[in-house]
């Protein structure tokens, strides 16, 4: 740089100033670390078994794009109105907002968007047919999701299901007070509009042979769920007033009002036990849950347990049935043994251990066994009998493969398996690996980095309380199967969305732009948030990263 | 109008009358009541200024630098640790030639913690390019703050006005507060010739080559040399308007004195009592008060101290590893006198951390300094004897 030298002090200004732009000085070359826009995986999305891009959905909603938010949600999950009602919302347990006024009511937002889409009659974008055919066995949440995802890719999908109507356990196992069936019907109608064909009343292995199915379709997905109840084997368990929980729920849900004794023990601690007990309450039966561990170890959704207690379901913990007591041909009691908790088992829960000589009787006139379910993959025996050790183009989705036991996990599994099947179909028969979360999302996120609370800048978040969730104010015990939880109005949904911290998710708040001391953050429309770092002038001070409220920036060493 | 004011109150009134436009401060004992009063004035509409709250003294001065750069009359105040925290920006303000006025209420620096006064905080900032004015009374504090605005804008140098913590900041005295019209006629409009002009964008204070850098630094030095004359000039003008004239140094019974105390700030006020007492006993004692310390009035000192029989310099500060700072500076000025005219000079370090300096102390300092009882070249006044200090119980902090 050549500057004319002053000849005397008088030629110099009072202090140094230059009228040439300072951008000539490429101060960015000094840095050894450099900021980068990089969305991290929010803890909610990490926890979501369905693989929903929760923060991006909420970001759209908070910006007032209701339909956009709903469609993004439904792009990966065809059952948002259903899941918003029945999911135990793992997301909310990990929510960073919990530190500042209570976790975001994500399930209420999901339900709001799902309900909104039930009224969305707009036509689907036409897809180019691929010419490939996929069969799905089972019209439960995993099968539905896989079918939907593959139909969106242009494949021809047929779903075979043995029940009269699609829905699987959503229809046969979840009581109406949690999930009104017209909601499910509407969501399934939408899936049919996308092009999925449901063929009901068909059981594979009985009505159609498995190998027959495989020969007619390019790929087959088994999503048969867990429908086989574990046997309740104690003396006296073959009495006609001993019921199978899954079966009993299905009967009740089909509209039948079974004749039942007035006091019933429901044996088990899972969601089936709770659903049966609460349904029985509504049929004027007095149910008591008998569970061998304590409340802490119950696999049922905690809020459902709370509701059951509130409604008047009895609980008998640390108790195992050992025999049904029958007198004069009638069930009169359940002979039980008291338990204590021992060492943790493989699931991390403490194992119940019988207390010697602690037998006692609880008076009941009927017993419902809800002690767990297993998958029935009997049709595979046919394939195995034919000497098959591996099957091209055959996949298992949902509870039958994962045993997770939640609708969200079934949806997530259906989604992932669909991605594998699609890859198998387009890549000419090569089976892909289990897809990553990133591969399921249209936006770019570093899913290896979770935006935990340590990445948030709490200075930017004022505490704001989680809203009360309205519930039907009925008599106790309840007599109706009417839906209990009431949905959000649009104002509540928007204000809840705006309460979301959007962890790890750039929302273009421009903090980086305002704070940059080197004026090296430029607003530009070339990327999503419209922000760009001028690498030639960014000195790597890291202020933008520190001041990003939501951990959507990363500082990394510059490679030299 | 005569008004009962604390030193800090006098400062706030002066800033108000000077019409400051931007105040950016961070509160610290014993400066706090200045910024509280200014905040009240702004909140109540008695002062039309932007009051910028910040999270640190570093930011306070940064905000003042920005404000002065756009031509606003700018004021800040701090004490002790706060001034230390401003250090980097003190250089920026002076190098940028910005007429910022700051009051520093002298407070001893940690460690150990002290709330009370000594001058090491401001004297540690001696070489930052700021002017420094040490006040002995609330009246002088009020007068000096107003004068500081005038001098600063004439020479384009920032100015620090110093008050002893508590002894001056928190003691009341009758202060003659001038009419606003008087101040308005005295204080000319602020012109910052190099203020930011958005019509002509420029990068200010950027990288300078060594030749230019040296030249800018030379200009800063020349401004200080000129400032000495301007202080004397402005002090005279103020006297014409108010009856209270000021010079860069102040003499008390000095003309015919043989034995001279060089002091600053409130001990200089105390010293008058001691000098009167010595005079009554027939000892020709006198006082030279250093008021303007930067720029340093070396010529005035040489004139006033030439051929005195003995000079004792009182330092409420210490440059550790050497000795009192006023003592060093006085000696350095007197060295330029012909050897025959050069008086013997003794230094005394006293009153650190707010310790009292009484008239009796000063009498004894002068008597011992006169030679008959003998002072060391530098004496730490009334400290524990060294041997005993080693054997004594360690001093512990009081609750």
Span A360-399, pLDDT tens digits: 999 999 999 998 887 777 777 766 666 666 678 899 999 8
Same domain for B233 and B369: no
Is A364 in contact with A334 (CB distance < 8 Å)? yes
d(CA A447, CA A398): 23
Domain total of chain B: 2
Q: What's B343's DSSP letter?
A: P
d(CA A83, CA A91): 12
Nearest to A156 by CA among A136, A183, A175: A136
* pLDDT beyond 70 at B288: yes
Q: Is position B205 within any domain?
A: no
Q: How many CB pairs under 8 A join A and B?
A: 49
* pLDDT beyond 80 at B87: yes
Same domain for B20 and B140: yes
Q: Is position B196 within any domain?
A: no
Q: Which of B69, B100, B202, B209 to mutate to test the interface with A (most CBs of A within 10 A)?
A: B202
Residue of chain A minimizing CA distance to B205? A16
**Residue A99 pLDDT level (bands cut at 50, 70, 90):** confident
Q: Is position B391 within any domain?
A: no
ipTM for the whole predicted complex goes beyond 0.90: no
Q: Which of B219, B224, B225 to mutate to test the interface with A (most CBs of A within 10 A)?
A: B219
Is B175 in contact with B4 (CB distance < 8 Å)? yes
Alpha-carbon distance A6 to nearest alpha carbon in chain B (angstroms)? 8
* pLDDT beyond 50 at A1: no
For domain A133-227+375-436, give the fold: FAD/NAD(P)-binding domain (3.50.50)
Same domain for B156 and B136: yes
Question: What does the pLDDT read at residue B201?
Answer: 87
Same domain for B276 and B149: no
Could you list the residue range(s) of the whole structural domain that residue B327 is in?
249-380
Same domain for B221 and B296: no
Same domain for B141 and B45: yes
Q: Residue B212: which of A16, A21, A25 has the nearest Cβ?
A: A16
Same domain for B266 and B238: no
Beta strands across the sheet bearing A197-200: A197-200, A156-161, A133-137, A219-222, A394-396
Q: Is position B330 within any domain?
A: yes
Same fold, A133-227+375-436 and A233-371: yes
Asked whether the beta carbons of residue A19 and residue B201 sit closer than 8 angstroms, the reply is: yes
* pLDDT beyond 50 at A500: yes
**What does pTM read for this prediction?**
0.75
Q: Is position B281 within any domain?
A: yes
Nearest to B16 by CA among B168, B142, B108, B138: B142
Q: What is the CATH number of the domain that holds B358?
A: 3.40.50.920
Asked whether the beta carbons of residue B205 and residue A3 sit closer than 8 angstroms, the reply is: no
* pLDDT beyond 70 at A44: yes
**CATH code, A233-371:** 3.50.50.60
- Note which residues in 142-181 of chain B have CB less than 8 A from chain A: 156
Q: Is position B55 within any domain?
A: yes
Same domain for B318 and B367: yes
Q: 3-class SS at B251?
A: strand
Same domain for B321 and B175: no
Q: Is position B204 within any domain?
A: no
Summarised one tens digit per residue, pLDDT across range A175-217 is: 999 999 999 999 999 999 999 999 999 999 889 988 899 999 9
Phi and psi torsions of B131, nearest 5°: -80, 150
Q: Which residue has the tokens 């994962």?
A: A402
Residue ranges in B74-167 assigned as alpha helix (H): 80-85, 87-95, 120-123, 138-155
* pLDDT beyond 70 at A526: no
Alpha-carbon distance B119 to nearest alpha carbon in chain A (angstroms)? 30
Summarised one tens digit per residue, pLDDT across range A114-171 is: 999 998 777 677 789 999 999 999 999 999 999 999 999 999 999 999 999 999 999 9
């Amino acid at each position: 740089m050549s500057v004319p030298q002053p000849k005397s002090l008088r030629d110099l200004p009072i202090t140094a100033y230059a009228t040439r732009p300072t951008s000539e000085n490429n101060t960015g070359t000094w840095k050894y670390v450099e900021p980068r826009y990089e969305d991290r995986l929010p803890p909610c999305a990490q926890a979501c078994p369905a693989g929903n891009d929760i923060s991006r959905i909420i970001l759209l909603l908070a910006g007032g794009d209701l339909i956009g938010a709903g469609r993004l949600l439904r792009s990966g999950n065809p059952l948002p109105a259903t899941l918003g009602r029945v999911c135990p919302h793992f997301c909310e347990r990990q929510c960073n907002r919990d530190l500042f006024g209570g976790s975001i009511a994500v399930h209420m937002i999901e339900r709001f968007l799902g309900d909104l889409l039930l009224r969305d009659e707009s036509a689907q974008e036409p897809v180019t047919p691929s010419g490939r055919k996929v069969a799905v066995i089972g019209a439960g949440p995993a099968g539905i999701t896989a079918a939907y995802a593959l139909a969106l890719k242009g494949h021809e999908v047929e779903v075979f299901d043995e029940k009269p109507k699609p829905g699987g356990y959503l229809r046969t196992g979840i009581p109406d007070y949690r999930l009104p069936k017209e909601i499910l019907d509407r969501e399934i109608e939408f899936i049919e509009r996308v092009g999925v064909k449901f063929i009901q009343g068909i059981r594979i292995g009985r009505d159609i042979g498995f190998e027959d199915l495989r020969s007619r379709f390019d790929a087959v997905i088994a999503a048969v769920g867990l429908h086989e109840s574990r046997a309740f084997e104690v003396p006296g368990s073959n009495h006609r007033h001993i019921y199978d929980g899954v079966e009993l729920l299905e009967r009740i849900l089909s509209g039948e009002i079974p004749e039942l004794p007035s006091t019933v023990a429901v044996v088990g601690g899972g969601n089936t036990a709770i659903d049966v007990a609460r349904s029985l309450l509504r049929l004027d039966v007095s149910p008591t849950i008998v569970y061998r561990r304590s409340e802490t170890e119950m696999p049922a959704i905690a809020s459902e347990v709370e509701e059951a207690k509130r409604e008047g379901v009895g609980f008998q913990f640390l108790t195992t049935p050992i025999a049904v007591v029958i007198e004069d041909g009638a069930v009169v009691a359940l002979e039980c043994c008291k338990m204590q908790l021992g060492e943790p088992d493989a699931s991390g829960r403490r194992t119940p251990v019988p207390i010697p000589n602690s037998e006692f009787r609880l008076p009941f006139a009927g017993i419902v066994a809800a002690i767990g379910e297993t998958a029935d993959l009997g049709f595979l025996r046919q394939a195995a009998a034919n000497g098959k050790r591996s099957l091209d183009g055959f996949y298992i989705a949902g509870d039958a493969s994962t045993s997770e036991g939640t609708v969200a996990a079934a949806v997530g599994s259906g989604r992932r398996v669909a991605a594998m099947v699609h890859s198998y179909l387009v890549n000419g028969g090569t089976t892909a690996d289990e897809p990553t979360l990133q591969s399921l999302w249209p936006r770019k996120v570093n899913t290896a980095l979770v935006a935990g609370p340590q990445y948030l800048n709490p200075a930017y978040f004022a505490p704001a309380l989680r809203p009360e969730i309205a519930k039907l104010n009925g008599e106790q015990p309840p007599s109706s199967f009417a839906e209990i939880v009431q949905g959000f109005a649009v104002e509540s949904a928007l204000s809840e969305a705006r309460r979301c911290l959007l962890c790890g998710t750039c929302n273009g708040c421009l903090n980086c732009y305002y704070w940059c001391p080197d004026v090296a953050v430029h607003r530009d429309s070339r990327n999503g948030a419209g922000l760009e770092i001028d690498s030639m002038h960014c000195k790597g001070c890291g202020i933008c990263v520190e001041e990003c409220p939501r951990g959507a920036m990363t500082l990394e060493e510059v490679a030299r | 109008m005569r008004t009962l004011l604390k030193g800090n109150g006098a400062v706030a009134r002066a800033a108000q009358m000077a019409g400051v436009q931007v105040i950016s401060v961070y509160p610290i004992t014993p400066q706090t009541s200045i910024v509280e009063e200014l905040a009240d004035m702004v909140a109540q509409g008695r002062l039309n200024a932007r009051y910028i709250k910040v999270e640190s003294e570093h930011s306070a001065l940064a905000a003042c630098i920005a404000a002065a750069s756009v031509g606003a009359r700018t004021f800040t105040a701090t004490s002790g640790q706060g001034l230390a925290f401003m250090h980097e920006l003190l250089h920026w303000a002076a190098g940028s030639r910005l007429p910022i006025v700051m009051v520093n209420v002298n407070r001893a620096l940690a460690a150990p913690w002290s709330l009370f006064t000594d001058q090491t905080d401001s004297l540690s900032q001696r070489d930052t390019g700021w002017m420094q004015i040490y006040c002995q009374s609330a009246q002088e504090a009020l007068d000096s703050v107003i004068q500081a605005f005038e001098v600063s804008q004439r020479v384009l140098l920032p100015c620090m006005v110093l008050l002893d913590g508590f002894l001056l900041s928190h003691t009341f005295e009758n202060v003659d507060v001038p009419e606003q019209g008087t101040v308005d006629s005295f204080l000319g409009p602020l012109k910052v010739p190099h203020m930011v002009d958005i019509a002509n964008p420029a990068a200010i204070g950027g990288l300078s080559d060594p030749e230019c850098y040296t030249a800018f630094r030379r200009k800063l030095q020349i401004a200080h040399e000129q400032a000495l004359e301007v202080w004397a000039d402005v002090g005279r003008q103020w006297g014409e308007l108010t009856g209270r004239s000021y010079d860069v140094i102040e003499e008390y019974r000095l003309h015919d004195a043989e034995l001279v105390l060089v002091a600053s700030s409130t001990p200089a006020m105390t010293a008058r009592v001691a000098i009167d007492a010595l005079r009554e006993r027939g000892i020709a004692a006198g006082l030279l008060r250093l008021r303007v310390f930067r720029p340093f009035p070396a010529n005035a000192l040489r004139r006033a101290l030439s051929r005195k029989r003995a000079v004792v310099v009182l330092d409420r500060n210490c440059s550790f590893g050497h000795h009192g700072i006023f003592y060093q500076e006085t000696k350095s000025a007197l060295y330029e006198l012909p050897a025959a005219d050069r008086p013997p000079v003794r230094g005394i370090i006293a009153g650190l951390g707010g310790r009292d300096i009484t008239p009796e102390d000063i009498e004894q300092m002068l008597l011992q300094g006169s030679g008959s009882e003998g002072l060391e070249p530098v004496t730490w006044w009334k400290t524990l004897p060294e041997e005993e200090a080693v054997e004594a119980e360690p001093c512990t902090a009081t609750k």
